[in-house]
Amino acid sequence: MSDRPTSNQQSTIPSAHSSTTGMIGGGFYDANSATQWNAIDTVLPMLDEAVANLPLEGAGPVTLADFGCAEGRNSIAVMTRALETLRPLNTRPVQTVHSDLPTNDFSQLLAHLRPDGHSVFGGDSTFSAVVGGSMYDQLLPDRSVHLATTFNAIGFLSRRPLAELPGYIFPNGPSTQRANGFVTEEERQAFARQANQDAVQYLKVRARELVPGGKLLLQVFGASPEARTCDGIYDLLNDAVLAFVQTGDISKKTYDRYYQPVYLRQLEEMTAPVLDPADSVSQLYTLNGSKSYEITVPFNEQYRKDGDLDRYAKDYVNFFRAFTETVLRNSLPETPDRNDLVNRVYQRAEEILKSDPTSYPFRYIAIAMLLTRTG
């Protein structure tokens, strides 16, 4: 794990309306987010459609806002693509907004937004801003945003709906292949309800920020009847954590309270608030399109080509370490050896994977929808 940052500068206290302090900083998330980019890349045609149909009449800047920007690599790439479509259609100044939790590491994003003192997006009429806050709160003025996006982020819940999840570390439960734990249907439903409440809240606050006719593109990891994005990676992390429960390094009480506060939706769960006439959100948006899809996973493809098990294990574990480590660390007692214990958990995950790679197959399912603000 030599490429892991040697210190953690992030707060250990989640912000209001957040159940995590964010991704690993220090460039680690950016370096391990190629798979997330593949999920974004698939819906870039939806982004092109959204930008091509923005309401551009009026004065003032055209505002493009991305919620859940992490360290910025993928957020900047999305904005670059949007501007390619927007510039031939627009003569007004453009404001790009990159938002994430206040505890997020923004240092890399800030450095990349203005390399050499100039906007990364080129020209003299594009300006950028960073906004810290929970995506479940209103963060920008009423009717000020023309395009809002979020990628691979809204699966992280605004709060922990249960104090414990004693059978497994992930609300959707273990894969059928590993079956290395359990989540009851009652427990799963608690997370499903929280996820629905979060989606409704997210849509309501974005509706206040969007201009009439503005666009919202929402994409997130998910599940389908055939596969779930949690399978494999959380089986492996669960097995690694349990190895330290067995040695006594992690108590059973700590294990019972620790879980990743994420819920994987199927597409129908995501679109339900917009399509249900009884839901107030349905009056705020028109659904322009939605899709469920599977992407190729770069470290899987590389392993098929070269069979390098050491590299595969490192890339596989670093991929999920980038978005799981802060929750794991903050769930452990604050002791002098906590950071060392976290490192050993992920090292143990590599060892387990190398000893039995066929037991942890990973597939990436994503869901997306494009909405237009009514009014």
Helix or strand (DSSP H, E) at 287: strand 285-295
| Pair 148, 210: CB distance under 8 Å | yes
Over pLDDT 70: what percentage of the chain?
A: 96
**pLDDT given for residue 7 in this prediction:** 38
pLDDT band at 16 (very low <50, low <70, confident <90, very high): confident
> Does the pLDDT of residue 8 top 70, yes or no?
no
The tally of CA atoms less than 13 A away on the side-chain side of residue 265 is 29
pLDDT band at 9 (very low <50, low <70, confident <90, very high): very low
Over pLDDT 90: what percentage of the chain?
A: 91
Q: For 165-179, what is the mean pLDDT? A: 97
Cα distance between residue 34 and residue 73, in whole Å:
10
pLDDT in tens, 18-75: 778 788 999 999 999 999 999 999 999 999 999 999 999 988 999 999 999 999 999 9
Cα distance between residue 358 and residue 346, in whole Å:
18
| Pair 145, 210: CB distance under 8 Å | yes
pLDDT in tens, 91-132: 999 999 999 999 999 999 999 999 988 999 998 899 999 999
Phi/psi of residue 344, each to 5°? Answer: -70, -30
Mean pLDDT, the chain, whole residue set: 94
Which pTM value belongs to this model? 0.94
> Does the pLDDT of residue 85 top 80, yes or no?
yes
Cα→Cα distances 212→33, 45, 140, 208, 316, Å: 33, 22, 15, 10, 43
Q: For 180-196, what is the mean pLDDT? A: 97
Q: For 234-241, what is the mean pLDDT? A: 98
